[in-house]
Structure 1
């Protein structure tokens, strides 16, 4: 069983789907969607992938016919009465025989092959403000890629990753625990030579909310979620890709935006004003970065932020220790000061 995320007019749900089980059909998937959304199978309009595309719904076919992957998101909307047919009023039976399908006539099967897109109810979205000063975004296929800003509180990496994988920054402390457990479970990889200090000390340090995270933490989190984390540097446009051990090809990817001293997230939304629950954070890795629509959009977003000087050169920026007030030059001085004094709270002059 694998988790499939549903985005539907009533919100966001997660269902468990037997993608690897023989005999599990498209019809079975539709029953799971009905249980989560209360949208009858004959009225379901399903889209998946990036850019989102309509799924060809033939209920009797095996689930493999849809090409879904673990972690996929399905956008569910409801077909209008004219497209759904009269049988839409018949509720599904809990004892349904999978060898026959009382919900579909031959004409309905043909209709669902080319479903009519239905916009979500207007109440699902917040109205755009009269003068928007919200986060930056760039248009791309299927919507807009938006810069999702998280608090600048020394936990930005963990908050941004939590936002992407758990749809909330509130689970940032859990991200730290995942990192600690990853180090504890892989002593042959995360040893003192790699960590720069004894593993037990590193674990105790990273669990503190005042400690920054970096490449080690992103590597462990990518492995835990079995998803590539692509971090794009605003100043240079460089993309650092932290792939799970089995590689990112054919898997899923999410996007971080790195300013030099701060991590934010980037997610896809149908429009700039869409509420958070309508944002898509995971994207299939389908092609090389130069041809991947999401990665192209991420580079454009970084260019927008670069044009606003929304980055910090960590080699030359002026810092002040917020504990003792000492002035420092660049990340190198900050690291040395932290090692000498144990002070880890820094701010820019």
Structure 2
């Protein structure tokens, strides 16, 4: 386990935050505050195991940031503290609900049924965690420690967004919320209820997860989010303009949709496209892109939102080669010409 913690820490701070730190935080109260019930050795072993794994994960992160960073190039995220943001808390809370299955839709529709079932599953998780950490039911130490970990992980997760500028995405809560089902399952196994009732609750919870998953997949299949991007890719391929610049999430989609024919140098933000220094985003970037400028005609792809943040004095002199509801495409006769225009030369 310590080796896994070391390797996880070498992958960055995310696993430390979502796994090893909550484990450590949840193990201390069990050992210090809970009344002795004859399993003190088990609690001490749990505390020591969580502490050792946390230390090894930190050691892995130190190896990553102080040793490997000097030999290899990889992306490093700078996270800064900020004033408490209630908006970030609400954003994280809504993301948790969406992960459980909440979705928009008309009130008088099937979405209401699924959302109602989703809230019942959330209630089941909340009750399981509450009874686990308060000792309202006679549960094993494993069940209670699992509830404690889950609660600490959710609290740390929400506080992370409330007090730091880390960018938010729903997928980041999956490593935590995946433990919601084990929390319910372990609780149902150990609580002294009628077996038929417990089986019914478990079947209901699994059914809700299944139905919400099927609905999300079915909804996603009916949404063609890449249609506007395919228009851009087809336009470029028809004119044999296969080198250019775009922001990270747009550039990699272009490469995928063109089966690798369009080579995009990606940046972290649109403003970086209009810089002549080393402005490329190093994450998933070809080494060739870092060492050489593109040859031949080049394109600049911007979303409608990114366009507003770009140098208007330059773009005002250029006519967009192509645009649709989502994107604006500019084509320049070579990188050198583009660089001259950036520097104000003709």
Q: Bin the TM-score by the shorter chain.
A: under 0.3
Structure with higher Rg: it is: 2
**Higher normalized strand content (fraction of residues):** 1
**Higher normalized helix content (fraction of residues):** 2
TM-score, normalisation: structure 1: 0.25
TM-score, normalisation: structure 2: 0.25
